[in-house]
Amino acid sequence: MLQINLTAEALDELLAQAERVGWPALEFACRMLGGAADRRRERSLERRLREARFRHNHTLETFNWEFNAATIHREHIEELATCAFVHRHDNLILVGQSGLGKSHLVEGLGRVACVQGFHVRYTTSARLLRELRAALADQTLEAQLRYWTKMDLLIIDEFGFDRLERQSCAEAPQLFYKVIEGRYGQRSTVLVTNVDFEAWGEYLGDPPLAMAFLDRLVDGAIILKLRGRSYRAARARPLGEEGNEGKKDKEGGQEPEKKDQESRQGPEKKKGQEGRQGPEKR
């Protein structure tokens, strides 16, 4: 059944309009079904976004493309946003230092995948490990593995960030491996990490298993190594400088204050010159 959510009053109004305008039968059917179909798509998208459990409201549109424009190329990310790799069941690995916006990018890609109709799940490696450990303890591991392997796109963020969390669980390498093995060749996985591939054996604490884990993850995968300046470090510098200058003003009296003013004028001028030169070089 079509299960069209249309009231009798709305149907009467639509029939009257069709008679008045002279719609053909196909036009009338499209008008009658179109609104219901749109509402159903909106509800489905809301449900997929809710089930994805993103931590923030990051989108690709809100990403600062200018900050690291020389090293993070927008056209590469927009190509990934077509979700062709999800259709192919390929994996995506983002490697890079903290503060580059990797989490922002993968969440934006995840939201695009939701819009395209894919079922997405976002998690961190620490959270995934906690849930798998809990399932192992209460003997529901098989059900948990089915859950983590059925999503069209699984995003595992912060792989390598929680070394202590991993070290507290001897079963961590095996549990991670079971998830990747269950998805291998069947579903797409996005992994975000600041750990180079060569160090995965040390991080997981089981080099042979780490090699098998890495082998399945990178087979046919898209590997994106990001470089650039840290957003967090860039935001922190001005705050630190202002705090130090304020402290000098209070401790040094009038003469240090004059000296401090001169020291501020120098960097400001230099910063302005560098800001003008940067775009010219690009």
Q: Give the pLDDT confidence score for residue 210 in this predicted structure.
A: 83
pLDDT in tens, 252-261: 444 434 434 4
- Single out the residue of 186, 181, 182, 192 nearest to residue 93, CA to CA: 192
- How sure is the predictor about 221, in pLDDT bands with cuts at 50, 70 and 90? very high
Sheet of 188-193: strand order equals 120-124, 153-159, 188-193, 92-95, 222-225
pLDDT in tens, 175-213: 999 999 999 999 999 999 998 888 887 777 778 888 898
DSSP string for 34-56: HHHHHHHHHHHHHHHHHHHT-SS
Question: Judging by beta carbons within 10 Å of its beta carbon (0-12, 13-18, 19+), is residue 102 exposed, middle or buried?
Answer: buried
In a domain, residue 133? The reply is: yes
In a domain, residue 82? The reply is: yes
In a domain, residue 130? The reply is: yes
- In the chain, the number of structural domains is 1
- Calculate ∠ Cα 45-178-113, nearest 5°: 20
What's the rounded Cα separation, in Å, for the pair 189 and 178?
13
**What size, in residues, is the chain?**
282
- How sure is the predictor about 268, in pLDDT bands with cuts at 50, 70 and 90? very low
Q: What is the CATH number of the domain that holds 153?
A: 3.40.50.300
What's the rounded Cα separation, in Å, for the pair 223 and 13?
55
Q: Give the pLDDT confidence score for residue 162 in this predicted structure.
A: 67
Question: Judging by beta carbons within 10 Å of its beta carbon (0-12, 13-18, 19+), is residue 225 exposed, middle or buried?
Answer: exposed
Q: What is the pTM of this model?
A: 0.73
DSSP string for 136-159: HHTT-HHHHHHHHHHSSEEEEEEE
In a domain, residue 253? The reply is: no
Per the structure, the complete domain to which residue 87 belongs is given by 74-225
Contact 165, 174 (CB under 8 A): no
Specify the amino acid at residue 263: S
What's the rounded Cα separation, in Å, for the pair 153 and 114?
9
Mean pLDDT of the chain: 81
The 10 Å Cβ neighbour count of residue 75 is: 6
- Single out the residue of 169, 158, 96, 176 nearest to residue 122, CA to CA: 158
Here the tokens at position 124 are 């961190």
Q: Give the pLDDT confidence score for residue 261 in this predicted structure.
A: 41
In a domain, residue 41? The reply is: no
In a domain, residue 247? The reply is: no
Specify the amino acid at residue 180: I
What's the rounded Cα separation, in Å, for the pair 62 and 224?
20
In a domain, residue 106? The reply is: yes
User: Is residue 147 scored above 60 in pLDDT?
Assistant: yes
Average pLDDT over residues 213-239: 85
Helix (H, G, I), strand (E, B) or coil at 206: coil
Here the tokens at position 249 are 């003003």
User: Is residue 281 scored above 60 in pLDDT?
Assistant: no
In a domain, residue 209? The reply is: yes
Which residues 6+ apart lie within 8 Å of 192 measured at CB?
94, 102, 103, 106, 155, 156, 157, 158, 159
